[in-house]
Amino acid sequence: MKDAAIGVFDSGMGGLTVMRALMAGMPSESFVYLGDTARLPYGTKGADTVTRYAVQAVSALVKRKIKLLVVACNTASGVALPALNEAFAPLPVIDVIAPGAEAALAASPQGPIAVIATEGTVRAGAYERAIRARAPKVPVLQQACPLLVPLAEEGLIEGAIVDLAIHRYLDSLLERAPAALVLGCTHYPVLRDAIARIAGPDIVLVDSAATVALAVERRLAQDGLLREGPPMPHRFLATDAAKRFARIGEIFLGQRIAPGSVELVDL
Both 87 and 214 in one domain: the answer is yes
Report the domain count for the chain: 2
68 and 196 share a domain? no
Indicate whether 221 belongs to any domain: yes
Q: pLDDT tens per residue, the chain (267 residues)?
A: 899 999 999 999 999 999 999 999 999 999 999 999 999 999 999 999 999 999 999 999 999 999 999 999 999 999 999 999 999 999 999 999 999 999 999 999 999 999 999 999 999 999 999 999 999 999 999 999 999 999 998 999 999 999 999 999 999 999 999 999 999 999 999 999 999 999 999 999 999 898 899 999 999 999 999 999 888 889 999 999 999 999 999 999 999 999 889 999 999
Residues 65 and 106 in one domain: no
Catalytic residue among 185, 213, 242, 265: 185
Note whether residue 1 is domain-resident: no
- pLDDT given for residue 259 in this prediction: 85
CA 254 to chain centre: 15
Shared domain check, 111 and 204: yes
What residues have CB less than 8 Å from 121, skipping those under 6 apart?
A: 43, 74, 75, 77, 78, 115, 127, 144, 184, 185
What pLDDT is recorded for position 177? 94
pTM: 0.92
Longest dimension (CA), the chain: 50
| Residue 137 shares a structural domain with residue 192 | yes
Q: Which residue, 208, 228, 254, sits at the end of a domain?
A: 208
The C-alpha angle with vertex 214 and arms to 210 and 216, in degrees rounded to 5, equals 115
Residues 45 and 76 in one domain: yes
68 close to 10: Cβ distance less than 8 angstroms:
no
Does residue 185 have an active-site annotation?
A: yes
Amino acid letter, 98: A
Does 154 map to a domain?
yes
Nearest to 253 by CA among 230, 231, 234, 228: 234
- CATH code where residue 198 lies: 3.40.50.1860
Residues of the domain holding 64: 6-95+210-264
The whole-number pLDDT of residue 158 equals 95
* Alpha-carbon distances of 66 from 5, 70, 171, rounded to whole Å: 5, 10, 42
Asked if residue 177 is part of any domain, the answer here is yes
Query: Does some domain include residue 245?
Result: yes
Last residue in a domain, options 163, 179, 208:
208
Judge if 106 and 193 occupy the same domain: yes
Residue 145 known to be catalytic: no
DSSP 138-170: S-EEEEE-TTHHHHHHTT--SSHHHHHHHHHHH
Domain check: are 74 and 121 in the same one?
no
CB-CB contact of 32 with 5 (8 Å) = yes
pLDDT of residue 110: 95
> Residues 91, 216: one domain?
yes
pLDDT at position 232 is: 84
Same structural domain for residues 118 and 188? yes
Q: Answer yes or no: do 111 and 171 share one domain.
A: yes
Last residue of a domain, one of 208, 237, 256: 208
Question: Looking at the domain assignment, is residue 114 inside a domain?
Answer: yes
Kindly state whether residues 202 and 126 are assigned to the same domain: yes
Helix (H, G, I), strand (E, B) or coil at 6: strand
Catalytic residue among 5, 8, 57, 73: 73
Rounded CA Rg of the chain: 17
| 232 part of a folded domain | yes
